[in-house]
């Protein structure tokens, strides 16, 4: 009996292994099915550098729940699709951690698109299907950037939309390189490009470079390109007719271009330097491929000269080293506009194709070994970095203490080391006692620390101060028998309307970086600021950015609002028509 049971169990395990080996879609389905388990209850995340960046999603979702449309009703630094996906997941999982919701909500799009790619690829090679699927899941499920911006381990709450673009580019690249069914390819290309456009416009620029390379090389057939382009234009046109969102988005992009008027070359050099290891490996691989494919390239060139045509030109363009050049150009263009990203992860589908093709042609030779070494030299660094950052963050969180709060909902589910909490409290005492000194620093355009926004103590203290000011607002409302329906902040992010179940005023920019993402005030913005019930101004510490925002909004607030002190670290502008402010 024992032996027969053991045989059955063994057969069951073998059957499961065979099923998983033959059906990568099961792995994708399991990964998607497991995500809600981490979202039903609030998970405590270790705090990280620039952690407040993802609070923008809470502000945007609250505005969307109020019926506001990104770019139409408020200025946003990126497209509105990511905000809508987050709002939908927040509605389904109200207790889910905002960082996980903002990161994973893109799977609403990428998982089905990747499924289309896998179904097509597995017809020819199950191993290749897994080779595409597993890295996709790895980068999609671990919300960490490939760049380092702070020495301490923590969650990467910034650059969420940049990571999302990289994951979409990965799916697009997998489709362009491996998918053979033209209908599937047209679908993946059209939907991926639409998503790229409405998440971040620089993402669609990178996607266009990939699509152009595939088209010239004959991998994106004309009928697939026409069908995909038609779907793309039809969807964008329908959205414009129904909401005006496309033209409004274009206006926002033009405003950002004016605000960020700087040369592209320094940004490209910066992107190349940050990702130097990957770029160097790809350049060396390109040189090896040039030498290897030169005879084929010359033959294709001679054929084209003898008998010009699109198919002959496609054979010229369909060279691995040219594909590599196109992918690197796309990555550099996108990364030149980023802080925080999963840079160049979309190279893997191309690198995998190069590895497979070289093995088919050369077998276990020295030439193949050279290609393989360079392929993995380019592919492994992002995997190692994300693995290391995730391991450090979650292993280090054993020493973290959960943040104590009363009013922050799931946003306050963070942990921080006790020594940093103590430092945060000591710094705050210093900010309050010596405010004129920090005010002078802000007026001189300097921060108390060059890495202030990355410092964990700044991020944790911002949360504590937010918790305290909400209590102060509620006390003020009770004492004065009023209710502030519209709340804005004179700061980078404004989650207070969501935290207090109130409303954010229309037209005011979210993600308010005065140097990069806040256009000059127009009549609509001035009217909205003038009508706001409560404008919060954090003062621990004063910073150049906060001071710039204050100088921008204060002239509008001056006539209809009175400035009061709510807490030692928060001043407020209260609309005089709503109450008699003491």
pLDDT in tens, 91-122: 999 999 999 999 999 999 999 999 999 999 99
Cβ-based neighbour number of residue 240 at 10 Å: 15
Whether the Cβ atoms of residue 497 and residue 504 lie closer than 8 Å to each other = yes
Which secondary structure element, helix H or strand E, spans residue 70, and what is its range? none
Cβ-based neighbour number of residue 42 at 10 Å: 19
Task: Round to whole Å and give the CA distance between 199 and 162.
Answer: 9
C-alpha dihedral, 61 to 191 to 317 to 382, nearest 10°: 40
Has residue 338 got a pLDDT over 90? Answer: no
pTM across the whole model: 0.94
**pLDDT level of residue 261 (50, 70, 90 thresholds):** low
Average pLDDT value for residue range 380-398:
94
What's the token pair of residue 442? 């802000």
Tell me, what's the pLDDT at 480?
A: 93
User: Which residues fall within 8 angstroms of residue 304, CB to CB, at 6 or more apart?
Assistant: 312, 313, 315, 316
For residue 382, what are the CA distances in angstroms to 139, 202, 278, 288? 9, 21, 9, 22
pLDDT digits (tens, 9 = 90+) for 140-191: 999 999 988 888 899 999 999 999 999 999 999 999 999 999 999 999 999 9
Largest CA distance in the chain: 88
Whether the Cβ atoms of residue 190 and residue 232 lie closer than 8 Å to each other = yes
pLDDT digits (tens, 9 = 90+) for 510-529: 999 998 889 999 999 999 99
What's the token pair of residue 438? 């920090």
Cβ-based neighbour number of residue 205 at 10 Å: 15
SS3 287: helix
Task: Round to whole Å and give the CA distance between 354 and 290.
Answer: 13
* Axis-axis angle for helices 182-199, 201-216 (nearest 10): 150
Q: Locate tokens 């390379």: which residue?
A: 213
Please list the alpha-helical segments (H only) found in 142-244. 160-178, 182-199, 201-216, 222-243
141: burial class by Cβ within 10 Å (0-12, 13-18, 19+)?
middle
């Amino acid at each position: 009996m024992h032996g027969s049971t053991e045989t059955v169990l063994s057969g069951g395990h073998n059957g499961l292994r065979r099923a998983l080996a033959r059906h990568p879609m099961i792995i994708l389905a399991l990964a998607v099915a497991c995500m809600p388990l981490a979202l039903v209850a609030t998970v405590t995340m270790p705090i990280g550098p620039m952690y407040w960046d993802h609070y923008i999603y809470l502000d945007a979702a609250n505005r969307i729940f109020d019926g506001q449309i990104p770019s139409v009703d408020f200025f946003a630094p990126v497209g509105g699709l990511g905000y809508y996906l987050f709002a939908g997941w927040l509605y389904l999982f109200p207790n889910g951690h905002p960082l996980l919701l903002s990161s994973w909500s893109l799977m609403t799009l990428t998982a089905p698109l990747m499924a289309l790619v896998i179904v097509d690829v597995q017809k020819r090679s199950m191993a290749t299907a897994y080779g595409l699927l597993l890295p996709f899941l790895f980068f999609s499920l671990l919300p960490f950037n490939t760049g380092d911006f702070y020495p301490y381990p923590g969650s990467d709450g910034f650059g969420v939309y940049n990571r999302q673009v990289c994951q979409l580019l990965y799916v697009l690249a997998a489709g362009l390189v491996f998918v053979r069914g033209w209908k599937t390819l047209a679908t993946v290309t059209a939907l991926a490009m639409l998503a790229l456009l409405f998440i971040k416009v620089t993402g669609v620029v990178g996607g266009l470079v990939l699509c152009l390379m595939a088209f010239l090389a004959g991998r994106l057939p004309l009928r697939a390109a026409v069908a995909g382009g038609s779907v793309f234009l039809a969807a964008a046109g329908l959205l414009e007719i129904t909401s005006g969102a496309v033209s409004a988005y274009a206006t926002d992009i033009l405003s950002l271009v004016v605000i960020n008027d700087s040369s592209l070359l320094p940004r490209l050099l910066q992107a190349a330097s940050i990702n130097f290891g990957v770029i160097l490996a790809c350049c060396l691989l390109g040189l090896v491929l040039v030498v290897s494919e030169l005879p084929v390239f010359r033959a294709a060139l001679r054929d084209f000269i003898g008998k010009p045509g699109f198919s002959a030109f496609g054979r010229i363009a369909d060279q691995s080293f040219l594909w590599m050049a196109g992918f690197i150009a796309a990555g550099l263009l996108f990364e030149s506009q980023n802080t925080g990203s999963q840079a160049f992860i979309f190279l893997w589908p191309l690198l995998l194709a190069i590895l497979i093709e070289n093995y088919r042609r050369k077998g276990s030779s020295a030439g193949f070994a050279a290609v393989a070494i360079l392929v993995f030299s380019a592919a492994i660094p992002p995997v190692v970095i994300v693995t290391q950052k995730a391991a450090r963050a979650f292993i280090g969180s054993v020493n973290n203490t959960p943040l104590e709060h009363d009013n922050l909902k799931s946003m306050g589910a963070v942990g921080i080391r006790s020594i940093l909490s103590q430092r945060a409290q000591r710094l705050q005492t210093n900010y309050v006692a010596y405010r004129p000194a920090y005010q002078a620093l802000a007026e001189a355009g300097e921060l108390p620390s060059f890495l202030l926004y990355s410092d964990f103590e700044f991020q944790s203290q911002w949360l504590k101060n937010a918790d305290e000011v909400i209590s102060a607002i509620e006390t003020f409302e009770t004492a004065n028998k009023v209710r502030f329906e519209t709340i804005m902040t004179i700061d980078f992010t404004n989650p207070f309307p969501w935290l207090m179940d109130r409303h954010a005023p229309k037209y005011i920019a979210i993600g308010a970086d005065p140097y990069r993402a806040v256009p000059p005030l127009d009549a609509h913005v001035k009217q909205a600021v003038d009508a706001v019930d409560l404008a919060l101004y954090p003062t621990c510490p004063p910073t150049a950015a906060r001071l710039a925002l204050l100088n921008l909004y204060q002239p509008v607030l001056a006539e209809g609002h009175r400035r009061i002190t709510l807490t030692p670290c928060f001043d407020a502008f209260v609309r005089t028509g709503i109450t008699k402010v003491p």
